[in-house]
Each structure stands twice: as C-alpha cells, then as structure tokens.
Amino acid sequence: MSQATDKKLLDGVMDRIRPIRDARQRQVDTAQAEADAKAAEERHRWEAEERQRREEWERDRPQREARQRAQQERKRKLAEERAKARAKAAHEHALADTLKSFGRASFPQRHRVALESITLSDEQDKARDTICTKILDGAMVVLAGDRGCGKTQVATNAAWQLTGEAGSTFRYWTLAGMIAAYHDAAFGPNRAGGSWIADNAGVTMLVIDELGERRDTAEVQHILTQVLDYRYRYMLGTLLITNTQPSKLEHDLSASAMSRLMEGGGVIDASSWPNRRARPNGDE
C-alpha cells in the first residue's frame, strides 16, 4: 500500500474521531465552566455572608461592649465584696484576739467592748496619740482629770493602737489591785516580790489607774516607786491615771517618780474634758 493511501485512511479516521473528541472537550469545558460558576457563586455567597456577619458584629459592638463592661463591673464588685468580707473577717478576728488579750491584761470589760463603738473627742484623740508616742519612747506619762471624763477609755484606745507594734504587751492595774497583788506575792508562801515586778510589770505598756484613790502610805509609795524604777531602768512606757489635779501630783507620787515623769514624759491635763457618764457608752 502506498504512502498516499495510508495518509488518506489516517485522515479519514481522524475526521471520524475529531467530532467525538471535540464533543468531549466541549463537555469538559462546559463542566469546568459550570464548576467555576458554582465556585464563584459559592465564593460570592460566602463573601456576602461574611460581610453580613461583619456588619452584624459591628452593629452589635456597642451592646457587646456594654455587656462586657457590665460583666467586668460585676466581677469587680464581687471581688470588692469578697475583699471587704475577708478584711471584715480579719478585722473581727483581730479585734476578738485584741479583746481577749486585753481581757488577760485586765483592762476593764466596759472599755474593751467600747473600743470600736465609742468616738473620742479631738482632745482625747490627741492625748491618745501623745500617750502612744511617749510609751514607745519608754517614758512615763500621767493622765490627770476629773472622774468620768474618759481617761481609762483613752488609755484602752492607746493600748489598742499600739497592738500593731511587734511584740507589744500590756497590763492594766488599779493601784489598789497592784499593791494587793504585790503584797500577796511578796509576803505569801513563795515570797516572789522581785520576780512579780518582772512578770507583771515588765510589759511594753503598763497602765496604773486610780492613782489617788488609795490612802497614801509609805508601803504604797515604796511599792509604786519600785515598779516605776524598774520600768525606768528598762525603758518601758508607763501610763498613770489619776483624778488628782496636775498641780497636786506630788501628793500621789514620790520625788523619784516626779523626777522620772519630767524626764521625757509629762502630764496630760484632762481636767477640761466633759463628763461622759451621762451619755451611752461614755463611761470612763
């Protein structure tokens, strides 16, 4: 068979195949075009939905931010309430411990329970702060004034203010009670007068009340002078409370005690303070 014949046969086959091939190509192209159109439509739909979501997001932003602020405010208030509750519980616990320690230190119950409820006058506030300063300096202070003007309450509040000082210890005595306790220790079976002073008067703050209420005897002056001399030697602050007028203190204190009083301490004159006993929770 000649080459011309072969070429003619091949061209005939190709002519028959070409329409089929072209039809298939058109199908492929059509399918691709439909797929592209569908993808474009899907993309347009997704973009439209995304735009709508963004628009809704932006539209809802003020409300969303308001909700977030409200939630943050609720959290802040809750945290604040919890902090206040913890602080209140800690304060009540500290107050309970203070009241117990003040009870052990023999501060009168009337003045212990009034620590938070009573309001001191400006003069009494100033006196309390002066007492705290002098006590921390290891000095001796006399608080002198009429009965019922709040001297013992000021002394109790001063001790309470000093509870924040590390290692602070306190003891409250009336002069008569201290003399009786010392007398029992010194002349009782154990005869521990010297050690009694260290054990019962060696505290950070010693309060001796009713200084002028006991009959002045040589024994009273001797014991009081021993206690005050001990505290002077060890630089321990002492507060003496008396109804005696400041100008007549030498009748209640020995010359030695008066000398100690003038050395870094002093007298707080409460004679101008009003009587508190006529008011609720105002007992001295």
User: What does the DSSP 8-state code read for residue 29?
Assistant: H
Rounded CA-CA distance 49/38 in Å is 16
Strands of the chain, DSSP E: 140-144, 170-174, 205-209, 237-242, 266-269
Residue 73 has a pLDDT of 92
- For 195, phi then psi, to 5°, come to -70, -25
Query: Can you give the length of the chain in residues?
Result: 284
Torsion region of 229: left, alpha or beta (phi above 0 gives left; psi -120 to 50 gives alpha) = alpha
Rounded CA-CA distance 4/6 in Å is 5
User: What percentage of residues in the chain have a pLDDT greater than 70?
Assistant: 90
pLDDT of 175-213, one tens digit each? 999 988 888 887 766 665 567 887 777 788 999 999 877
Residue 57 has a pLDDT of 86
For the cut 90, the answer to whether the pLDDT of residue 155 exceeds it is: yes
Residue 172 has a pLDDT of 93
Rounded CA-CA distance 92/75 in Å is 25
- Its pTM stands at 0.65
Rounded CA-CA distance 173/113 in Å is 18
For the cut 70, the answer to whether the pLDDT of residue 281 exceeds it is: no
- For 144, phi then psi, to 5°, come to -115, 130
- For 142, phi then psi, to 5°, come to -110, 130
R_g over Cα of the chain: 47
Q: Region 84-93: what's the mean pLDDT?
A: 80
Q: Do residues 148 and 270 touch, judged by C-beta distance below 8 A?
A: no
pLDDT of 89-126, one tens digit each? 887 777 677 777 777 788 888 888 888 788 899 999 99
Residue 76 has a pLDDT of 92
- For 219, phi then psi, to 5°, come to -65, -45
For the cut 90, the answer to whether the pLDDT of residue 258 exceeds it is: no
pLDDT of 16-30, one tens digit each? 788 888 888 888 888
AA identity, residue 140? M
Q: How many CA atoms lie within 13 A of 268 on its CB side?
A: 28
Q: Region 52-76: what's the mean pLDDT?
A: 89
pLDDT-derived band of residue 282, with 50, 70 and 90 as boundaries? very low
